[in-house]
Chain A
Amino acid sequence: MNDSKYVYLDNAATTPMDPRVIEEINKHFKENYGNSMSLHSVGQKAAQILVKSRETIASLINAERDEIFFTSSGTEADNIAIFGVTAKNKNRGNHIITSAIEHHAVGHPSEELEKKGFEVSVLPVDKGGLINISELEDSITKKTILISIMFANNEIGTIQPIKEIGEIAKKHDIIFHTDAVQAFGKIPIDVKKMNIDLLSASAHKLYGPKGVGMLYIKNKGVRKGWGKFIEPIMYGGGHEREMRPSTVNVPGIAGFARAAELAKEEMQSEMERHTKLRDRIIKWVTENIEDSYLNGHPTKRLPNNVNLGFKFIEGESIVLDLDMEGIATSTGSACSSKSLEPSHVLLAIGLKPEEAHGSLRVTLGRFTTEEDVDYLLRKLPPVIDRLRKMSPLKKGVKYMFADSSNEHHH
């Protein structure tokens, strides 16, 4: 193995762009500089590229072309979904339902709504990270207008029972939004079969460019008995059919479409390949490194997500030590966040704060090879060993892990 090798295993944070996507974007930067709203031919060419891109992206989730609304990010799409639906329907009801493991792009807007007088039910999750369907149904009231539950979690990769959630939403005539930023292009999504009304996605998690996202809006936001059920959160020009003003990022969107196209072609084979690598890492680490365990669900998880816990040590140190070995990973430890709180997702699945501090997330990508995994499995044990030698916790009888610390004394 080459010493200058850098193994990128943080694909849930963002992905490197696929060279085929870069090629596509460069082409459009050079040739299609027009404003898609302009009447002249350069503008119209840009508008045509937009239409084609919409079509490609829609086909990945079995949506109709005009149900795709481009945004600048997944976060923006989540914000439009949540604030757009609640603002439009506040006379109909003031209650929304979400889960304890949402990304902040859904969690924080929900908290804002609460400050403005909305009621928010936050569903707990089990040890594997799954919501309980009957609990969801029980929390529905006459005032419920929106359910927002993520498709797959960014930290532990848990895939929610989206079809069942969609059925419940349909039965009670409630709008169903799902943040599919991690799932889009990685696992099959069918907005029709799953009864999804709103879905957020982002290009940069899929080997596409940063700064490009989209919101799928069922039937362009018109619903029987509701009329228009969503309104914009920004006002300006009439771009994206009055839903999201600002001059459209045509080259970026063309890159997003190319990325979606490639994801569709390679989805089946990549799912199989990633699942094998994922399970190999989980099995090897939990069998060969003492006091390590898997966080999240063993099977209902994204093929590319591994989240491991290591007792007695702290995740930020693991991440930085691995980085020095040329491996990029991430952690839910408080030390890596500005809030100094450990990950809300890891706490929601029942981890103690000191356990959440010792988490390591490894997320595979299109460019991850078998050799990369070999390299990780070779470099990880000495890192864990070194940090444990440094740690006072192994004998910390009074603090935690009482069962495994009895043989030690202080």
Chain B
Amino acid sequence: MGEIKDADSVGEVGNPVCGDLMYIYIKVKEENGKEIIDDISFQTFGCAAAIATSSMVTELAKGKPLDEALEITRGDVADSLDGLPPIKLHCSNLAADGLHDAIKKYREKNK
């Protein structure tokens, strides 16, 4: 939890007007020719579900190669939390999108 000051990329998703905003910070390293998420952290403005999904996505993605991390879906995050109430599924479960955004931005930067 918290900001990574020298992050390689920051994913951003949501909007505070609807009550959720997330930043996902990643640090990437190369290992055996693969780019791996070495460190990952979040900052979240949102309800308990939003905080829980942010925290879960950092746990799921840590140590994973970028390609694998891109395959983490909203469903994976919700399942890892043993499900979310239906009302929370669309608004709070933004964490996977935040992670994908961070990876996308990282790749654009390092083309």
Interface pick from A92-100, A122-130, A265-273, A390-398? A390-398
Q: Is the interface of A mostly helix, strand, loop or mixed?
A: loop
Q: Type the 1/0 row for B41-76, where 1 means its CB is closer than 8 Å to any CB of A.
A: 011111111110000000000000000000000000
8 A-B residue contacts at CB 8 Å?
A314-B20, A314-B47, A314-B50, A334-B18, A335-B50, A340-B18, A353-B19, A396-B21
Q: How many residues of B contact A (CB 8 A)?
A: 24
Known: A390-B1, A396-B21, A400-B16. A333 touches B44 (CB 8 A): no
Name A156-186 residues within 8 Å CB distance of B: none
B45 proximity list for chain A (CB < 8 A):
312-314, 391-393
Q: How many residues of A contact B (CB 8 A)?
A: 25
B51 proximity list for chain A (CB < 8 A):
317, 390
Contact in complex: A392, B47 (CB < 8 Å): no
Contact in complex: A333, B47 (CB < 8 Å): yes
9 nearest A-B pairs in the assembled complex, by CB-CB distance: A335-B47, A392-B43, A316-B47, A354-B16, A392-B23, A391-B45, A357-B19, A353-B17, A320-B48
B15 proximity list for chain A (CB < 8 A):
399
CA distance A308 to B49 in the complex (A): 22
Contact in complex: B48, A354 (CB < 8 Å): no
Question: Does B26 interact with chain A (Cβ within 8 Å)?
Answer: no
CA distance A29 to B18 in the complex (A): 48
CA distance A353 to B19 in the complex (A): 8
Contact in complex: B46, A354 (CB < 8 Å): no
A392 proximity list for chain B (CB < 8 A):
21-23, 43-45
Known: A314-B47, A317-B51. A333 touches B21 (CB 8 A): no
Question: Does B2 interact with chain A (Cβ within 8 Å)?
Answer: yes
Known: A314-B19, A353-B18. A390 touches B87 (CB 8 A): no
CA distance A317 to B48 in the complex (A): 5
Question: Does B91 interact with chain A (Cβ within 8 Å)?
Answer: yes
Contact in complex: A389, B2 (CB < 8 Å): yes
B23 proximity list for chain A (CB < 8 A):
392
Contact in complex: A399, B21 (CB < 8 Å): yes
Question: Does A338 interact with chain B (Cβ within 8 Å)?
Answer: yes
A303 proximity list for chain B (CB < 8 A):
none
Contact in complex: A335, B16 (CB < 8 Å): no
Question: Does B93 interact with chain A (Cβ within 8 Å)?
Answer: no
Q: Type the 1/0 row for A370-398, where 1 means its CB is closer than 8 Å to any CB of B.
A: 00000000000000000001111100100
CA distance A391 to B20 in the complex (A): 10
A314 proximity list for chain B (CB < 8 A):
19-20, 45-47, 50
Name the residue on A nearest B2 (C-beta): A389
Question: Does B92 interact with chain A (Cβ within 8 Å)?
Answer: yes
Most chain A CB neighbours (cut-off 10 Å) among B21, B42, B92: B21
Name B69-97 residues within 8 Å CB distance of A: 87, 91-92
CA distance A314 to B22 in the complex (A): 13
Chain A min CB distance to B59 (Å): 15
Name B1-46 residues within 8 Å CB distance of A: 1-2, 15-23, 42-46
CA distance A273 to B44 in the complex (A): 39
Chain B min CB distance to A50 (Å): 42
CA distance A357 to B44 in the complex (A): 14
Name the residue on A nearest B16 (C-beta): A354
Contact in complex: A317, B47 (CB < 8 Å): yes
Chain B min CB distance to A385 (Å): 13
Question: Does A309 interact with chain B (Cβ within 8 Å)?
Answer: no
